[in-house]
């Protein structure tokens, strides 16, 4: 066979291989068209807990990059809470839910298979913490129902900004530093916080009410004890917490 014939044969083999190769699947975008919004995190927020092991992906596809796993409990042993932002059903009929993920870095979102989460629950409340005015405001369906002065993080241990949520609520016993009530959030500090174990930003009472309003904390949001009792009663788990 001549050199020209060999070249032609090789070219034909390459062409046949390319033609017969399976087409590459188009990557699913992290924010795909057709998703249904489930939470505006203002007047309506839906949340769920994990009911089965599940991975968290950057896009609604098991071929997307994995960024973590669902967990069943918080660091304090309460059921872990995931705010559900939207729903998407892929070409195979699989339901995917976009969730806020309690982890560092703050404000991480990802996609999980819907079957891994519980039925969705709904809240209509929102907490806003203003670090400039040192005020906390609680809204219900957009209407202000509670307001109180707060203490936030020192400049060296700031309270982080972002959109978070209440993951757990519990009564505090035997430690007056935190008052009688506490709400754990999904905000994490890069420095030590007042929260047991460090790292988690909580809303809690105080044994030093004279420092409120102010910037006395290691990152947590402190309220006077009568105010944390009121906030605790009015704020359900799953409530968005906006720190601005």
Active site residues: 204, 220
Cβ proximity of 133 and 188 under 8 Å = no
Other beta carbons less than 10 A from residue 83's beta carbon: 27
Tokens of 235: 């704020």
Distance CA 135, CA 157 (A): 18
């Amino acid at each position: 066979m001549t050199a020209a014939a060999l070249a032609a044969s090789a070219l034909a083999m390459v062409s046949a291989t390319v033609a017969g190769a399976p087409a590459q699947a188009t990557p699913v975008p992290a924010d795909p068209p057709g998703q249904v919004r489930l939470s505006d995190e203002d007047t309506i927020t839906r949340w769920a807990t994990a009911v089965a092991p599940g991975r968290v992906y950057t896009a609604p596809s098991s071929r997307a990059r994995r960024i973590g796993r669902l967990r069943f409990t918080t660091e304090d042993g309460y059921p872990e809470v995931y705010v559900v932002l939207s729903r998407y059903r892929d070409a195979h009929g699989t339901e995917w839910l976009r969730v806020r993920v309690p982890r560092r870095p703050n404000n991480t979102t990802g996609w999980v298979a819907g079957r891994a989460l519980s039925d969705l629950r709904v809240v209509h409340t929102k907490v806003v913490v203003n670090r400039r005015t040192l005020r906390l405001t609680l809204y219900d369906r957009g209407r202000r129902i509670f307001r109180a002065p707060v203490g936030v993080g020192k400049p060296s241990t700031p309270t982080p900004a972002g959109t978070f949520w209440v993951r757990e609520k519990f009564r505090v016993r035997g430690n007056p530093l935190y008052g009688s009530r506490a709400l754990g959030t999904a905000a994490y500090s890069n420095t030590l916080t007042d929260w047991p174990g460090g790292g988690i930003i909580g809303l809690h009472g105080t044994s030093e009410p004279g420092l409120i309003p102010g910037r006395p904390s290691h990152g947590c949001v402190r309220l006077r004890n009568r105010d944390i009792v009121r906030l605790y009663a009015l704020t359900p788990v799953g409530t968005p917490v906006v720190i601005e």
